[in-house]
Amino acid sequence: MSWTIDRERTAPEVLTIRLSLPTADSEQWILFTSDRHHDSIESDWVLETAHLKRARELDAIILDNGDLVDGMQGKRDRRGRLPDLHPELLKIMQSGKSGHPKDAYLNSVLYMCEDFYKPYATQLAMIGMGNHESSLVKHNELDIPALLARELRRYSGNGRGTQAMPYTGWVRLVVNVMGSHSTVKIFYHHGHGGSAPVTRGIIQTNRRQAWIRDANIIWTGHIHDGYVVPFTTHGLSQRGKPRDVTGFHVQTPGYKTRGNYEKERNMAPRVRGGVFMRLYPQKVENYVSALKMDFTLAFD
């Protein structure tokens, strides 16, 4: 098993994953996703499934940064519209196969997600809290990421097991690179505010960079747009050598297509998908000098 998840956390908002890259040509893949809005009628299940299957083939670590559920069709939600109920969800509710009463809407959403994600439970390391989930905590007193993660842990392999994570925090990849240790620090935040059609949230990447220290990757979702933007800082190494260090802002778009809400506001269509990252040792002459990261924008 090339990677495992620490059950003990150094802090509630820090997830530690350990992996090893034992040879110069070894690699580890990580799939960054967010905004699946899986129970929304506008969620692109075909693209989602393709990425989940690819992640399973690669034994990738899947990290999800919130809005996995949409959860807007409940009685207490003013935004709910019956025609927007996902046909699969309607089937689950009407057949009673979830084992819950037919009007137990949120139980059916959970059941549908458990059923869909359980074949990928061994890969799915993290389910973060998005504003859709935090709004369900606020109005329905129900923590969907915690319940879903607990259920999915029944299906994951040894040393793995989906972890529910808060709205913002860190993922720490502790890597054994050919015998020596290295750490990749990923700061994540689900995201906030509305979409910015012209700047596409790039201004926020500069703001975050100003106060988030030591992150190799700064990762956000929420605005349903996607890109990877590098940032380079200049500093002095432990050994007194000036050096430049490059990190990356990762913005994941999610899997929701343009729906009625976006059309009425004349919002442009945007990309869908996730970001695959390949982590591998960089060899200079005969020693490993650094961990390298390549990104593949798996966007449609």
Residue (71 or 130) nearer to Fe ion, CB? 130
Q: Of 32, 106, 110, 130, which lies in the binding site for Fe ion, with binding defined by CB under 5 A?
A: 130
Q: Of 38, 160, 189, 222, which lies in the binding site for Fe ion, with binding defined by CB under 5 A?
A: 222
131 binds Fe ion, rule: CB under 5 A: yes
Minimum CB separation of residue 224 from Fe ion in Å reads: 6
Longest dimension (CA), the chain: 68
Minimum CB separation of residue 171 from Fe ion in Å reads: 18
Minimum CB separation of residue 154 from Fe ion in Å reads: 27
Buried b (16+ CB within 10 A) or exposed e, 177-204: beeeebebbbbbbbbeeebeeeebbeeb
C-alpha dist (Å) from residue 112 to 137, 163, 275 = 19, 19, 24
Residue (131 or 182) nearer to Fe ion, CB? 131
* Residue linked to tokens 């703001």: 207
Q: Of 3, 17, 29, 35, which lies in the binding site for Fe ion, with binding defined by CB under 5 A?
A: 35
For residue 212, count other CB atoms closer than 10 A to its CB.
Answer: 14
171 within 8 A of 65, measured Cβ to Cβ:
no
Which of these segments, 12-20, 115-123, 217-225, 232-240, binds Fe ion (CB under 5 A)? 217-225
Q: Of 39, 67, 114, 151, which lies in the binding site for Fe ion, with binding defined by CB under 5 A?
A: 67
Strand partners, 165: 128
Interface with Fe ion: number of residues (CB under 5 A):
5
Residue (35 or 151) nearer to Fe ion, CB? 35
Nearest-angstrom CA–CA distance, 142 and 74: 12
Q: Which residues bind Fe ion (CB under 5 A)?
A: 35, 67, 130-131, 222
